[in-house]
Amino acid sequence: MARRSRTKTPIAEQDPAIRKSNFDEVCLGYTIEEGQAEAIRCLQCKNAPCVTSCPVMIDIPGFILSIKEGDMQEAVDILGKYTNLPAICGRVCPQEKQCEQVCKLGMNKNFEPVAIGKLERLVADWALENQAFSKHIQNNEPKNGRIAVIGSGPSGLTVAGDLAKRNYEVIVYEALHDSGGVLIYGIPEFRLPKRIVKKEIEKIEALGVTIETNVVVGKTITMDEIIDEFDACYISVGAGAPNFMEIPGTALNGVYSSSEYLTRINLMHSYEFPKYDTPMKRSNHVVVVGGGNVAMDAARSAKRLGAEHVSIVYRRSLEELPARIEEYHHSVEEDIDYHWLTNPIEYINNGAGELKGVKCVKMELDEPDESGRRRPVPIKNSEFIIEADTVIEAIGQGSNKVLLTTFPELKLTKWGYIEADPKTGTTSIPGVFAGGDIVTGAATVILAMGAGKVAAVEIDRYVRGKKNTPVTTKSLRKDKR
Ligand code: FAD
Ligand code: SF4
């Protein structure tokens, strides 16, 4: 038997010197042979901890065993039981904080964990290339009910796919002109190619799900109409409203929110201007504020758009960086600089209303705050200026409010997210379910999907149970906050 390698099987990537000026995918994925070499490293643990740490509880040893045995179709079928979006999760899940963090192989200090995410991606890409999806036969039986899903991000797509498999008629309403949520408008092409997202969405449509784009629920159609016309609905409108530093100079030309910057690039294809209509400012010195995946994506996109110098300003240290570690390593390879323990306090005007620099202060870490992370505090007289013609704030997002403001009956948390039971997705209103970022606040793709999975089970239970006791808009209106 082949000896178990201590390190993960290396994976092909685009050369950093080349990729930093193109938007093509960075990681090129395993070949089947490389995947098998990696699969051999799995210990096939009983009560595998990797499974319990996965928010959708994928049978990880099961699909890895199928790869090892060369049965790719079996691996596809196993994955298909747990996830509707494996090619996406294999690319963007923070595996190092979930399945790979608890992998028993990696618990031995001489070994790296199994590359679970890369193996998931291998199986999913093989399925997309070979049209070898897990089989789901649509039948002609009468549907169990009609469900509306609001928002076509990973949470909405998951609930939609799972309910279609349970023989429901599902209509997904999406405000933008394209479906996929953050997968389409936020995460850049070089990390998650849009053709992959589109193929995964086509798979969900093939289950019988209808997606209607350019429909803003709360404006184009109301929640009253949704409640009257459907047996239940699932709200998954995400948390895409940007937070701002609110420091002097925010209104200067050259100051962007990451939401605007990335949406221009990804959804509106500004990196392909003039082929597409949306232009993007030419920047030379770019400062990105923040330390999450969004900050990495903004910085690496700015580099690809031709900026000479790009730096990330983060108020904590590398140890606390919330971004996926792979993205951090890739960013360093692409010549992104870091100002650790640094916070901006003012954007400086060149006298003509344009940004010319970012005044920052150095920070130190104090005792942990309520989040459990050490609290950054400014160091006196430590101000300095970074030259910049563009700054991109990537300091978190809040709830998308368009729907919420037109539906005051729905109970919200004190942070403005929907109050919903994480085990079922039920909200304060019968028949109205919710999940994903609009419940948790900005989180991860897999958590949003996990919420969709549990809600699908509960919606099915609810609709079957309520067929004799319909909920009307009138009865809902009595349920005031
Ligand atoms: P979303 O993906 O936000 O989708 C919500 C959808 O609802 C949107 O399409 C929106 O247009 C639509 N909508 C809003 N209001 C309405 C309305 N009134 N009517 C109709 N439709 C509406 N997570 C990871 O796990 N790994 C990563 O690497 C990662 N990188 C990220 C990079 C960026 C730039 C961003 C912004 C986020 C990243 N995340 C990452 C987080 C992850 O993408 C989100 O947690 C996830 O997409 C949330 O899914 P969702 O379905 O709840 O909402
Ligand atoms: Fe394999 Fe690691 Fe999961 Fe064990 S914990 S089954 S070694 S992937």
- The list of the chain residues with pLDDT below 70 reads 1-2, 134-138, 468-481
Q: What angle do CA 186, 395, 240 make, to 5 degrees?
A: 40
How much is the pLDDT for 468? 62
**CATH code, domain carrying 92:** 1.10.1060.10
Q: Is the dihedral of CA 82, 84, 90, 96 positive or negative?
A: negative
- Span from the CA of 105 to the centroid of ligand 2 (angstroms): 6
Binding site membership of 237 for ligand 1 (Cβ less than 6 Å): yes
Q: Which of 93, 103, 107 to mutate to test the pocket of ligand 2 (most atoms within 8 A of CB)?
A: 103
Residue 138 lies in a domain: no
Looking at the CA of residue 442, tell me the nearest atom of ligand 1.
Answer: 45
5 found inside a domain: no
Distance 156 CA to ligand 1 centre (A): 10
- What is the distance in A from the centroid of ligand 1 to the CA of 317? 26
Ligand 1 contact, 98 CB (< 6 A): no
Q: Where a domain ends, among 395, 419, 449? A: 395
Domain end: 395, 430, 452, which one? 395
Write the CATH number for 303.
3.50.50.60
pLDDT at 261: 96
pTM above 0.95, yes or no: no
Residue 102 placed within a domain:
yes
pLDDT for 467 equals: 75
- Total number of domains in the chain: 3
**256 and 235 belong to one structural domain:** no
Would you say the C-alpha torsion 122, 125, 130, 133 has a positive or negative sign? positive
Ligand number nearest CA of 212 is 1
Q: Which of 343, 368, 395 is the last residue of a domain?
A: 395
Q: Give the model's pLDDT for residue 481.
A: 30
Is residue 317 within 8 Å of 33, Cβ to Cβ?
Answer: no
> What does the chain come to in residues?
481
Q: For residue 60, give the ligand nearest its CA.
A: 2
Residue nearest to atom 8 of ligand 1 (CA): 181
Q: Are residues 260 and 359 in the same domain?
A: yes
CA dihedral sign of residues 151, 152, 154, 160:
positive
Residue 139 falls inside a structural domain: no
Domain boundaries, position 383: 244-395
Cβ 285 vs Cβ 392: under 8 Å: no
Kindly state whether residues 430 and 470 are assigned to the same domain: yes
Based on the fold, state whether residues 277 and 386 are members of the same structural domain: yes
Q: Do 102 and 215 share a domain, yes or no?
A: no
From the CA of 105, give the closest atom in ligand 2.
Answer: 7
What's the CA-to-centroid distance between 153 and ligand 1, angstroms? 5
Are 453 and 475 within one domain? yes
Name which residue sits closest to atom 5 of ligand 2, judged by CA: 103
Q: Return the ligand number nearest the Cα of 182.
A: 1
User: Are 383 and 248 in a shared domain?
Assistant: yes
168 neighbors 148 (Cβ within 8 angstroms): no
Whether residues 331 and 408 share a domain: the answer is: no
Same domain, yes or no: 190 and 307: no
- Give yes or no: residues 384 and 408 share one domain: no
Q: Tell me: do 385 and 281 sit in the same domain.
A: yes
The ligand that comes nearest to the alpha carbon of residue 43 is: 2
363 and 280, same domain (yes or no): yes
Contact (Cβ atoms closer than 8 angstroms) between residue 435 and residue 56:
no
